[in-house]
Amino acid sequence: MKLEHIALNIADSQEVKNFYQNVIGMVEVRSYELGKDLAKQFFNINENSSVYLMQKDDLFLELFVNEKLYKQGFNHICVKVKNREAIVEKAKKYSYQCIIRKREHFDQIFIGDKSGNIFEIKEVDKKIK
């Protein structure tokens, strides 16, 4: 089994550029409108939604713009990147939530968009020469 994409709700279409492009470096593959008939049929949501398919490397996110945000549990997406400090700097630059838990061997880093979606940021293992 292969993960095809992860779908998230965002409250404002400006987040596509402000967070997903500027902070975590994704590119927009395509966008479309999901009509309320299909939204009702598939998700039991009776309203239209703009949808953005975003990509970074092999990760695809499908962002549904919906002003109604739902209660956050422990849901989060964990990604490995080459330079997580660069993402932390961008998150802070654009005033996004950034939580860093200092630990002995490596810090835990979580960033969040303004819609409440949380990303754990890990770094690709560096080979020791």
Distance CA 8, CA 62 (A): 6
What's the pLDDT at 101?
86
- Mean per-residue pLDDT pooled into runs of 10, the chain (129 residues): 82 95 97 90 84 95 84 75 93 94 86 89 68
What's the pLDDT at 74?
62
Among candidate residues 107, 111, 109, the one with its CA nearest the CA of residue 119: 111
The reported pTM is 0.75
Q: What is the pLDDT of residues 29-54, one digit of tens each?
A: 999 999 998 888 777 788 899 999 99
Looking at domain 6-67+75-123, which CATH architecture does it have? Roll (3.10)
Point out which residues pair with 32 in neighbouring strands: 51
Residue spans of the domains in the chain: they are: 6-67+75-123
Among candidate residues 24, 16, 20, the one with its CA nearest the CA of residue 89: 24
Tokens of 42: 């598939």
